[in-house]
A and B are shown apart, each in its own frame.
Chain A
Amino acid sequence: MTATDRRPRDRTDRPAPAPRTGLGARLGDLAMGVRFAVTGGREGWARTLLTALGVGLGVTLLLAAASVPHLLQSREDRGRARTPADAAQTVHRADNTLLTATADTVFRGDTVHGTLLHPDGARPPAPPGVRDVPGPGEMVVSPALRELLASPQGKLLRDRLDDRITGTIGDAGLVGPGELTYYAGSDTLTTEAGAHRVASFGARSEAEPLDPVLFVLLLVACVVLLTPVALFIATAVRFGGERRDRRLAALRLIGADARTTRWIAAGEALFGAVCGLVAGAGLFLLGRQFIGAVTVWEVNAFPADLTPVPALAALIAVAVPLAAVAVTLFALRGVTIEPLGVVRNAVTRRRRMWWRLPLPVAGLGILLLAGEFQQQDEAAPPFMIASGTVLVLLGIALLLPWAVEASAARLRGGPVPWQLATRRLQLSSGGAARAVSGITVAVAGAIALQMVFAAIQGDFMKITGQDGRRAQLNLSLPTADVSTTRQMISDFRKTEGVRAIIAGIEADAARPGPRRTGEPFVPRTQFTVGDCPSLREMARIGSCRDGDVFVVHDSTGMVDDAYIGQTARPGKQVIFNLDSRTDEPDGPPRLWTVPKTARTVDSRKDPAGETRFGIFATPAAVDTGLLAAPVARAMVRTDPRVPDAAEYVRNTAARIDPLMSVDTLQNLQRDKNYASVRTGLLIASAATMALIAASMLVSMVEQLRERRRLLSVLVAFGTRRATLGWSVLWQTALPVGLGLALAVAGGSGLGVALLRLVGKSDPDWSVLWPPVATGAGLVLLVTLVSLPPLWRMMRPDGLRTE
């Protein structure tokens, strides 16, 4: 028998291989899908590229979000490391101690962190990032400050910080690379002037606990910002699905069963997702190199700060490919891939609302059950808040396809672009709904967050009582004798851009003589010396000439007016140097008589929001040499026509005393944590919105790519560009319109539930509009940006088949 003779019998005798089942078979199918994606030619790679781009964008954002804890911790750690240790405790002067004092300043709205250092001996401790403590007249600066000082824009600041630069602060001494920081040497610092003696740097202080309301906001913000990212990733792995399904039909023809084709499709999506994971990691690593160059609301970081928490990074690495497989299998459950084609179009399976609605309802229920808490010490239930919010937002995303389908089914007639768009949505609204689900969730979340922000901002805003219209800057003049103080005030008055100085020299004045029966102490009050315009800012003095004296009563009722009356008695004497502990004069009595002509007037709040009272005297009325321990206060009214007026004032202040603080007067002051949360949210919202815009664009291009041939045919028979452009706009705008309506309803519901959670009940409905307007603007932008690819795909190339 020859080999040839044997062959047919062998084939007949060999048992048919058993169909593969179980995990091994599924893994084999996945592997085949990966191979198809790799070897699928230009078409396969184009699909993989789109998926990878979409997933990559999402992964980049997820990795960035996963890096936030490390970023915050790193900044916090470096901030603490440079804070003087034991500042609150007494450190004895030694060879290894130094005196430090904060000398922060502001330059054109940016804070310049400054510290003065005065070594006590030969071995002073150096702050982190500083090799040698600078000597008097020297300073070490951060790279950003060095650059600013060297630039023409920094000339004004250079006048203020005119010490010789002897070094650069290393990364270890900076919270961020863009930080403006300096350490300057000093030989005049004293503890009396406010300096602290320290033996080392590195504070052990605990971080301030976050207000529970802010915690809720942070938690909700994380959910709101990351849910669209997750939705986008789920959308991206379905790019090019229709073409892929047609290819899968060919596999059915050669014997693959339905389950195998689904797993092969999942394999293709898996490959795209893995590519996206790699692309996202690459984008993230590339992007973080430039993070130092970005400063948003005074926040920036070193590239190394942007390191994902390992557990979160691992979760992303595992969850994204798994999600790709799961989403593909889920998406294909409604598609029948037959050997002769895909019958999705022929089968119209209507979407049902009944299983979608319970999700947001359950979410709202959980949030309402979470109760109400307002107290600082009350812990917010994080799991309930997060799960409730996630359920509401996911519920909105799930309701959207149903809403789009149900609404599109009712649309009739209209011009050709409208008809093309509505019919497209009627035939297949899933893709369009998926494309806008991200923006719907983001807008719903933004509405909810804005409602909470609007409701609670009053709790986190302090009305300072300051009046920024009457004066713009408040100076803390150092304690000095009256003539030196007058010289300082004169220096400020001569400074460029200064329109007026509101200044007063203050001291104590008491009634002479012993304590009387029933008096707990000798009556005393404030004594203020200032020129008429300055006094006019502190009391309702009316007409005034140099030499006038006023008895000023407190009009707010905050001060026991009796003491003013018992001390400031026209025609009677006051004593300036009465020791409050002994009721005896501190040296020869320094007496002064309140003129009989002194007028009694009411006080008024000064521009810094403080109330002055007691005896007001103009300079000619009193010998200021009599005053004991006088303290000067000054406020500056600047000329709005001189844009750098504040900088000139700060330069003058720095010349007088580097420790003098110059504060801007502002009517409202925001809580620091509240401001941080809001700032963080703004940064993250910007990133999410950018991702959503990118995702919508990629989805749109993908949809157009799928319809390339049809577009070419439409062009062949003369369809105007505008017709197709409008149809694209409607096709996006309709789902977005419905999405925004859903977002308003869902976001308001979520907002009301969250408000209840933080103990508020009065929603501000005006906050609905900005997110809605942003969403609508985004649609317009995406449509505009997608027009060039649309024009490109309308070229007749699509008609070529060879």
Chain B
Amino acid sequence: MTPEGSILSGEGLHKHYGRTPALDGADFSIHPGEVVAVLGPSGSGKSTLLHCLAGIVRPDSGSVRYDGRELTTLPDAERSALRRRDFGFVFQFGQLVPELTCLENVALPLRLNGAKRKAAEATAREWLARLEVDDVHGKRPGEISGGQGQRVAVARALAGHPRVLFADEPTGALDSLNGERVMTLLADAARDTHAAVVLVTHESRVAAYSDREVTVRDGRVKEPLAGL
């Protein structure tokens, strides 16, 4: 059953990598504009849950519904198109294309969606300014700091006005000061654009930016008990 009013939901998700179970009947849902932190220890299945929800991997069984559409049965091309149009992504590291400048990196999803280069770069420049990294627009990822790189990645994820933003350990490689600044900017920008955010983290400090927390343990999602 799809939770009432949710934009994205997963139900009874199972996923194995070889013999190792990553998800074992996980359920999840998120509403538009909501920021949900997915917590859990290393290897608990957090990232796999994110990948299944984003249509990056197909679960072995279970259902993923986005905006009323079943994602698990969509062909690869349609899932790719959906990710281009409606989703945004921030990962822990290695996500910026090293040969493109920061401006071109941010403009890339827009261009993949068919935007003209100049228009895409104008939007990208706005987002770089919003994320306070407009001064690095002409630099390549190898020439900027980790914190700047993550802000560029957040700008890229939000530049296409996604309806759902998937952030997988977005501050995992940053020091606490940079991490908090990135999270503040990410959460504010997401709320401004009314984007739902699936925030995978193992840090409660980061999870504090969310509206709701769920915990993944042994491939299952557990909601905290009310009042606790």
Contact = CB atoms under 8 A, between A and B. Distances in A.
Interface of A: 345-346, 413, 415-416, 419-420, 423-428, 709-710, 713-720, 723, 796, 799-802
Nearest to A425: B99
B142 A346 contact: yes
Nearest to B111: A416
Nearest to B45: A802
8 contacts: A420-B99, A710-B94, A714-B97, A716-B83, A717-B87, A718-B83, A720-B77, A723-B112
Nearest to A413: B117
Contacts of A800: 17, 47-48
B94 A709 contact: yes
B99 A424 contact: yes
Given A710-B97, A710-B98, A802-B43, A346 B143 contact: yes
Contacts of A710: 94-95, 97-98
B42 interface: yes
B140 A345 contact: yes
Interface string B89-108: 10110110111110010001
Given A345-B140, A420-B97, A423-B100, 17 more contacts: A345-B143, A416-B108, A419-B111, A420-B99, A420-B100, A423-B97, A426-B99, A709-B94, A710-B95, A713-B91, A714-B97, A716-B51, A718-B82, A718-B83, A718-B84, A719-B112, A799-B47
B214 interface: no
Contacts of B54: 716
B99 A427 contact: yes
**In this complex, which of B48, B85, B97 has the most chain A Cβ atoms within 10 angstroms of its Cβ?**
B97
A419 B100 contact: yes
A713 B95 contact: yes
Interface in B59-74: none
Contacts of B56: 715-716, 796, 799
Contact of B91 (A416, A427, A720, A799): A799
B97 A717 contact: no
A157 B101 CA distance: 72
B91 to A, nearest CB: 6
A716 B77 CA distance: 12
A719 B91 CA distance: 16
B134 to A, nearest CB: 20
Given A346-B143, A416-B108, A801-B92, A717 B83 contact: yes
B109 interface: yes
Nearest to B140: A427
A716 B112 contact: no
A415 to B, nearest CB: 8
A769 to B, nearest CB: 33
Contacts of B97: 420, 423, 710, 714
Interface of B: 17, 42-43, 47-48, 51, 54, 56-57, 77, 80-85, 87-89, 91-92, 94-95, 97-101, 104, 108-109, 111-112, 117, 140, 142-143, 157, 168
A66 to B, nearest CB: 41
Given A416-B108, A427-B140, A710-B98, A796 B89 contact: no
A409 to B, nearest CB: 13
A796 B112 contact: no
A717 B117 contact: no
In the A-B complex, the 9 residue pairs with the smallest Cβ-Cβ separation, listed nearest first, are: A718-B84, A345-B142, A718-B83, A423-B99, A427-B99, A424-B99, A796-B56, A709-B94, A718-B80
B80 A345 contact: no
Contacts of A796: 51, 56-57
Contacts of B112: 416, 717-720, 723
A715 B99 CA distance: 17
Contact of B89 (A415, A713, A802): A713
Given A416-B112, A717-B109, A799-B51, A428 B99 contact: yes
Nearest to A731: B99
Given A426-B99, A796-B51, A802-B47, A713 B85 contact: no
Contacts of B99: 420, 423-428
Nearest to A422: B99
Given A716-B54, A719-B80, A801-B92, A427 B98 contact: yes
Contacts of B81: 718
Q: Which of B82, B89, B101, B142 has the most CB of A within 10 A?
A: B142
A354 B107 CA distance: 38
A793 to B, nearest CB: 14
Nearest to A708: B94
A426 B100 CA distance: 9
Contact of B42 (A715, A723, A802): A802
B81 to A, nearest CB: 6
Contacts of A424: 99
Given A423-B100, A802-B42, A802-B43, A716 B108 contact: no
B104 to A, nearest CB: 7
Contacts of A801: 47, 92
B76 to A, nearest CB: 8
A716 B94 contact: no
Contacts of B43: 802
